[in-house]
Amino acid sequence: AQSVAQPEDQVNVAEGNPLTVKCTYSVSGNPYLFWYVQYPNRGLQFLLKYITGDNLVKGSYGFEAEFNKSQTSFHLKKPSALVSDSALYFCAVRDLTGGFKTIFGAGTRLFVKA
């Protein structure tokens, strides 16, 4: 069965510092991996995805994520955090052997202090 783990409920970082939001996954086949962001009182917005190819994928708002097959991880990163990045971040995985359903992690709340 496919699953996603976000080990941190909350990440705190100072503005201008690099940030990392962690995600590990478990699938039986090759994964499609996604990151979404949710701002207060809003739906989720797609940030980026890994399908195949280069392990480092770039997405919206300066975010990037690194796919590591041996560690089954897909951590979200940004070189310099902004206060406006404060939001709830969800990692998600889709395993084609399991149909088209996507499994979401529990979410990590990011706080960026000025």
Q: Footprint of other proteins on this chain (CB under 8 A)?
A: 32, 34, 36, 41-46, 49, 51, 88, 90, 94, 100-102, 104-107, 109
Minimum distance from CB of 111 to other proteins (Å)? 12
Query: How many Cβ atoms sit within 10 Å of the Cβ of residue 61?
Result: 13
Give the nearest distance from C-beta 52 to other proteins in angstroms: 9
Q: Which residues pair with 110 in a beta bridge?
A: 11, 87
The three-state secondary structure class of 113 is strand
Q: Which two tokens stand for residue 99?
A: 């149909």
Nearer to other proteins, 72 or 104 (CB): 104
Q: Which residue, 17 or 30, is less far from other proteins as judged by CB?
A: 30
Residue 18 or 56 with smaller CB distance to other proteins? 56
How far does CA 94 lie from the centroid of its chain? 13
Residue 99 DSSP class = T
* DSSP assignment letter at 22: -
CB of 16 to other proteins, least distance (A): 26
